[in-house]
Amino acid sequence: MDKKRFLENYSKRQLNIMNTDLVIKGILNERYAYAGPDIVHIDLTNHCNNNCIGCWCRSPLLKDREMPDDEKQLSLPYDLVKNLLDDIKVLNGTRQIKLVGGGEPFMHPHIMDIISDIKKLNIEVDINTNFTLIDEKIARDLVKLQVDILTVSIWAGTEKAYVDTHPNKDGAAFLKIRDILALISRLKKEENVAKPWIKIYNVISNVNYYDVKNMIEFALEVRADDIQFVLLDPVIGRTECLLINSDERRFLYRLFSELEKNYDYAKSLYIDPDGKGSLTITAFSDFIRRLSHAKSKDGIYDEDKTLKIPCYVGWLFIRAMATGDVVPCCKGHRMPMGNLYRQSFSDIWNSEQYRLFRYNAKNLKKTHPYFSEIGNSASKNMGCYNCDNLWQNEPMHKIITSANKDILDTGISAKNRLSVFFNKLVRFFCF
C-alpha cells in the first residue's frame, strides 16, 4: 500500500473485517466461528519495568491487590508463540496482532523475532509499549521492519506529569522517550515511509488531567501521527482515588469543546490553529461521551451502551495472556476459554466453552450473572460496565441490523420474509 493510502486508512480507522461474510455466517449460527478473530491481543510477558499509577497490575496504590510476584515473572515461551501464530494463519481472517500486556512487550527476550515472524505472515502488528526500553538501534530496527503501529503509553505532556504518573521514573526517562520518538519520525521522513504509525496513548486521571494540552503539544513536537485519550478505568477499592471530580470533568469538557473547533470529524484530524501541524485524535467523540456519562464520577462509562446492544466479540477478538489463558475480550481475564499450555488455539477457538460464550454474549443481558466474571472487580454484578471492545461491537451491530433490515425493507409478506431470510441463511451456510 502506498504512503498516502496508508495514512488515509489509518486516520479513519474503522472496523475493517477481512471475512465479513464468514463472520456474519458465524453470528447467525450464534455459536460457531467460521473464520479466525479479526484482532488478536498477545500479552507476551508480565515483566515490566514501570509502576504506572493507574496500572491494574502494578500501581503502588493496589497494595495487596498487586499482581502476585510469581505471576509477574511469567512470559510466553517463543515456541508457544510460534505455534499460536501458525494457528492464527491457518484459521485465516486475522487482520491485526497487538503485542500488549500484562507487562512491557520489549521485556520479552524474543520480541524482535516475534515482530518479524508476524510481519512475515502479512498481518498488521501493533505494539503497545511504555517505550522506556527503546534505544536508537531498536528504533532503527522498528522502522526497518516496518512495524505497522507503535502505541506509546505516556500519560503526560511534561516531565512533571510523567513523574507523577510513573512513580519509579524520572524526568530524564520522559526526555529520552521524546528524543527517540522524534528520531523515528525523522527516519520515516528520510526514507519516505509511513510506518510505524505512532500513536501516543494517554490515560487521564486527576493526576494529569490538567496536562492534556501539553500532551497534544508533545505529540505535535515529536511528529506523532495520532493521539488517544481514555479515562482511567479504576480497580474498585484501590485506584478510585484517581478518578477526576466534577470540576476536573468540567475543565476537560471545556477543553475538548475548544479542541473541537479545530477537529475534522470526517477525517478524525485535529489541525493545530498555530500551524504546528495536524494529528489524528482517535475516539475523540468517545472521550467526550465517557466524560459526560452520568456515572462517570464512579468510573462507569459504557453501561448504557453495553446494555443496549449484543456483544459480537466472540467472533472478532481474542486475548492470549502470559499465563497461557485465552480470554474472549479485553476485560475477560477472569473468564478463560482454554489454555495454550494444554490446548492448541484452533481447539480453543471453537470449543464448547467458547461457543457458550458466543451464544451468551449475543443473547443474554449483560446484567446476567454469567457476566459477573468480566472486568476488574469481583464485587460488581455486571462486569461489562466498561467495555474496551465497544469500537468493534457497535459497528458490527450496525452491519447485522442493516443485514436484517435489507430483508424487512423488501415490502414482502411476513411469511415470504421468513422464506427470504431462510434462503439467505442457507446461502451463508452453503458457500
- Scanning residues 213 to 232, which ones bind ligand SF4 (CB under 6 A)? none
Radius of gyration over every alpha carbon of the chain, rounded to an integer in angstroms: 22
Confirm or reject binding of residue 55 to ligand SF4 (CB under 6 A): yes
Helices (H) and strands (E) in the chain, counts: 16, 12
Pairing mode, strands 197-204 and 149-153:
parallel
- Scanning residues 309 to 348, which ones bind ligand SF4 (CB under 6 A)? 311, 313, 329, 331-332
Q: How far apart (Å, rounded) are the C-alpha atoms in residues 221 and 178?
A: 9
Q: Shortest Cβ distance from residue 59 to ligand SF4 (Å)? A: 7
The neighbour count for residue 301, using CB atoms within 10 Å, is 24
Instruction: Pull the grid cell for residue 175.
Output: 526526555
Binding track, positions 266-305, relative to ligand SF4; x by CB under 6 A: ----------------------------------------
Contact in structure between 336 and 327 (CB atoms under 8 Å): yes
Confirm or reject binding of residue 130 to ligand SF4 (CB under 6 A): yes
- Scanning residues 79 to 108, which ones bind ligand SF4 (CB under 6 A)? 101, 103-104
Confirm or reject binding of residue 50 to ligand SF4 (CB under 6 A): yes
Confirm or reject binding of residue 249 to ligand SF4 (CB under 6 A): no
Q: Shortest Cβ distance from residue 140 to ligand SF4 (Å)? A: 23
- Which H or E run includes 263? strand 263-264
- Work out whether the CA dihedral 283, 151, 23, 18 comes out positive or negative: positive
Q: Shortest Cβ distance from residue 71 to ligand SF4 (Å)? A: 12
Confirm or reject binding of residue 51 to ligand SF4 (CB under 6 A): yes
Q: Please identify, using beta-carbon distances, which residue of 60 and 277 lies nearer to ligand SF4.
A: 60
* 234 DSSP 8-state letter: P
Binding track, positions 383-402, relative to ligand SF4; x by CB under 6 A: -x--x-x-------------
**Of the residues 58, 249, 293, 333, which one makes contact with ligand SF4 according to CB under 6 A:** 58
Q: Please identify, using beta-carbon distances, which residue of 25 and 305 lies nearer to ligand SF4.
A: 305
**Of the residues 27, 35, 48, 156, which one makes contact with ligand SF4 according to CB under 6 A:** 48
Tell me the sheet residues that pair with 319: 41, 327
> Exposed/middle/buried for 31, CB within 10 Å: 0-12, 13-18, 19+?
middle
Q: How far apart (Å, rounded) are the C-alpha atoms in residues 41 and 311?
A: 18
- Scanning residues 361 to 380, which ones bind ligand SF4 (CB under 6 A)? 361, 366, 371, 374
390-408 helix and 414-430 helix, angle to the nearest 10 degrees: 130
Q: Shortest Cβ distance from residue 247 to ligand SF4 (Å)? A: 26
Quick one: which segment of 44-52, 212-220, 397-405, 409-417 binds ligand SF4 (CB under 6 A)? 44-52
Kindly determine how many residues on this chain lie close enough to bind ligand SF4 according to the rule CB under 6 A.
24
Q: Shortest Cβ distance from residue 184 to ligand SF4 (Å)? A: 19
Question: Which residues have a Cβ under 8 Å from the Cβ of 173 and sit 6 or more positions away?
Answer: 132, 162, 166
Residue in this structure with the C-alpha cell 527517540, named with its chain if needed:
180
Q: How far apart (Å, rounded) are the C-alpha atoms in residues 176 and 159?
A: 11
Instruction: Pull the grid cell for residue 297.
Output: 464520577
Residues lying near ligand SF4 in the complex (CB under 6 A) are found at 48, 50-52, 55, 57-58, 101, 103-104, 130, 306, 311, 313, 329, 331-332, 361, 366, 371, 374, 384, 387, 389
